[in-house]
A = this chain, B = another copy of it.
Amino acid sequence: MVHYKLTYFDARGLAETARQLFVLADVEFEDNRLTVEEFQKLKPSLPAGQVPILTVDGFEISQSATIWRYLARKFGYAGKTPEEEATADSIVDHFKDFLNSFKHYGAGLFFGKTQEELDRARKEIVEPAVQVYFSILKNQLEKTKTGYLVGSELTYADVAVAENLTTLKNTAFFHPEEEKSIASFHQKVLETPKLKEYLEKRKFSTL
């Protein structure tokens, strides 16, 4: 049996999409969650000093979206045609661009910035980025008309985006009552049977 080991902080963040792909595929993995101190020790040995890292029987993969895509292709959540794969990849790249803005708030929260700094990041950086990002999601949902972002079945793009919407809801950037189509997409993904069961048992974390 292949041994998968996923190394990240004790948070959802950039690792949770990978965890949920394992859940969807019913595949066991070692969920290696580091304290900030453990991470600092490991950091010099990591490519660009970053987590998550996935090891597959010792073969190491860095970069979150690459890890998700690798698992998505293995487990059948990458899209059914080259065009669906490109659509999923593109949405995930737009999502990662959004994260480059969101991290000014999210990493600030995780590493304990002041309320004033967080408020400034919210207003000046994250809120404008949410507008751009949500317009991409809404256009895409209008195109597919299936309730999913790509084609007619769940892909890793849905998992990544829905997972992040939970974070944006927890941090008051996403108000479901104001964003009907995104809210119903979010709900649809969370109700995927295997995910639903997993999410009911998952411990709460803001990020």
Give chain A's interface secondary structure class: helix
What per-residue 1/0 map shows which CB atoms of A113-130 lie under 8 Å from chain B?
Answer: 000000000000000000
Residues of B within 8 A of A93 (CB): 63, 65-66
Indicate whether A59 sits within 8 Å of B47 (C-beta atoms), given known contacts A66-B89, A69-B89, A89-B69: no
Do the beta carbons of B132 and A48 come within 8 Å of each other? Answer: yes
Which residue of the partner chain, among B69, B83, B94, contacts A63 with CB atoms under 8 Å? B94
Residues of B within 8 A of A83 (CB): 56, 59
Interface size on A, residues (CB 8 A): 30
Tell me whether A107 is interfacial, beta carbon within 8 Å: no
B interface footprint on A58-71 (CB within 8 Å = 1, 0 otherwise): 01011101110110
Q: Contact between B47 and A136 (Cβ–Cβ < 8 Å)?
A: yes
CB of A61 to closest CB in B, whole Å: 5
Q: Does A74 contact B (CB under 8 A)?
A: yes
- The oligomer's copy count stands at 2
Mark each residue of chain A from 31 to 68: 1 if its CB lies under 8 Å from any CB of chain B, else 0: 00000000000000001110000001001011101110
Residues of B within 8 A of A62 (CB): 90, 94
- The reply to whether B47 and A94 contact each other, CB–CB distance below 8 Å, is yes
Q: Contact: A74 with B66, CB < 8 Å?
A: no
Q: Which 3 A-B pairs have the closest CB atoms?
A: A63-B93, A66-B89, A66-B90
